Amino acid sequence: MKHFDKKIKQAGIISLLVICGGILFYYCLFNSESFFSIGTKVFTILMPFIYGFFIAYILNPVMIFIEEKIILPLRKKLSKKSIKNKSVIRLISVILTVAFFLSIVYALIIMVFPQVFESIQSIALKCPDYFNRFNSWLNKFIENNKDLAKIIAPYMADVETWFIDNVLPNLQEWVTNASTNIIGGVYTTISQLIKFVLGIIIAIFLLLNKELYCAQSKKIIYAVLREERANNLINNVRFANKTFGGFLNGKIVDSLIIGILTFIVLSIFKIPYTMLISVVVGVTNIIPYFGPMLGAIPSVIILLMVNPRKALWFLIIVVIIQQLDGNFIGPKILGESTGLSSFWVIFAITVFGGFFGVFGMFIGVPLFAVIYAAIRTFVNERLRKKLLPDSTKFYIDSDYHSDDYITNSGKEIKFVKKTFENIYVEGKGKRVIVTIDKDENQMDSDSDSSSDS
């Protein structure tokens, strides 16, 4: 009787949730504007906490490094009476971490942003002169190459007209509007600055008590869910954290190194607008695969108008740096942080970039890595319940096919050669009995998961 009453309660709760979900869906469908306005308002109110969580998430590896590699070894060298309390060690680590973060922000504000802003204004003012200079250089180049002139001469007038009528006015208007918005948006700038400062304060509290907040979250999960589901959820969150954290922090460090390296090399070769181009290359390098292209194209266009020879030098430099990054720097820093093959990385960038723009191109790779891992785990669990191997190599050239006299025990499994092409017929079909080593099977599954589609 008690079991029956429990089932009735569960059915009632599920019915109530379904009804509430239907009402919410109906409201959102026919009142989308008000719904999105409420969402925007909530998002604006929570912005300091979003800043705080993001800053804390980025600075957490730095704090761990300072705490484990600097403070604790220093504590061992000092007398036993010096630093005993863990909270004091954490406080010192957080102070040093925040000081490091603020020094980087200060360096960007004082050194980088003014030069970048000045370069943008300079390009806007000198853009017509740069275009005329590039046009004269191109004409001389065509005069010295008669064969090339015959090919491109019919198109030159149209290209020049299109650039003067469309590209040049829009470029000047965009730069002027950007400069006006930066200078005139004082209220917006101050408002975001206040939220950013509040975010730093919230990040300090999160870093100081991160173990406490994680423990409280686990308490809630264990209170709401069954043990198995709770542990699965916690493990999935840990995997997502490892994937996101490894990729996010690794890409930021990698892009910072590439930006600094680009600045040094461009300064040696005296490339114009060195700071602006280095910032563009460093920021776009965060996006895998397509990032270097997105950073190189506008930089080459700017340099073509200023000095075509310098543009060619820049193109050679950026190709060498990206090869260095792709083959040495990136793998050392990122390692196998996502576990995705090149195909799935390009797929994630394309799909999420199409939905969410540049932000989606950046966040899409680690997000899809989590989705991919969830699907892989689900498929492997279903296969294991059917006593089938989860290693992909067993399914490359064969299909599973059961019959009455061979029982799938998980140790001996029968496969036939592509059943759609060669359906097993008694006495004619090719039958293969595969003996499965479970430990070997698990190892194969883990190694194949990063490259299988």
Q: What are the pLDDT digits (tens) for 123-144? A: 666 666 766 777 777 677 666 6
- What does the chain come to in residues? 453
Check residue 272 and give its pLDDT: 84
Residue 447 has pLDDT above 50, yes or no: no
Closest by CA to 275, choosing from 112, 127, 126, is: 112
Report residue 391's pLDDT band, with 50, 70 and 90 as the boundaries. Answer: confident
Check residue 98 and give its pLDDT: 92
Average pLDDT, the chain: 75
Q: What are the pLDDT digits (tens) for 22-65? A: 777 776 666 666 667 777 788 888 888 989 998 999 899 889 98
The token duo for 150 is 């015959």
Cβ neighbours around 348 below 10 Å, total: 24
Distance CA(367)–CA(336), nearest Å, equals: 15
Q: Counting Cβ atoms within 10 Å, is residue 36 exposed (0-12), middle (13-18) or buried (19+)?
A: exposed
Residue 209 has pLDDT above 80, yes or no: yes
What share of the chain has pLDDT > 90, as a percent? 9
The answer to whether 67 touches 93, Cβ cutoff 8 Å, is: yes
Report residue 339's pLDDT band, with 50, 70 and 90 as the boundaries. Answer: low
Please give the torsion angle defined by the CA atoms of residues 362, 364, 370 and 371, in that order, rounded to the nearest 10 degrees. 180
What is the 3-class SS of 212-268, one letter each residue?
A: HHHHHHHHHHHHHCCHHHHHHHHHHHHHHHHHHHHHHHHHHHHHHHHHHHHHHHHHH
Q: Which stretch, 72-76, 101-105, 289-293, 399-403, has highest mean pLDDT? A: 101-105
Check residue 370 and give its pLDDT: 82
Check residue 45 and give its pLDDT: 86
Report residue 427's pLDDT band, with 50, 70 and 90 as the boundaries. Answer: very low
pTM metric for this prediction: 0.64
The answer to whether 325 touches 401, Cβ cutoff 8 Å, is: no
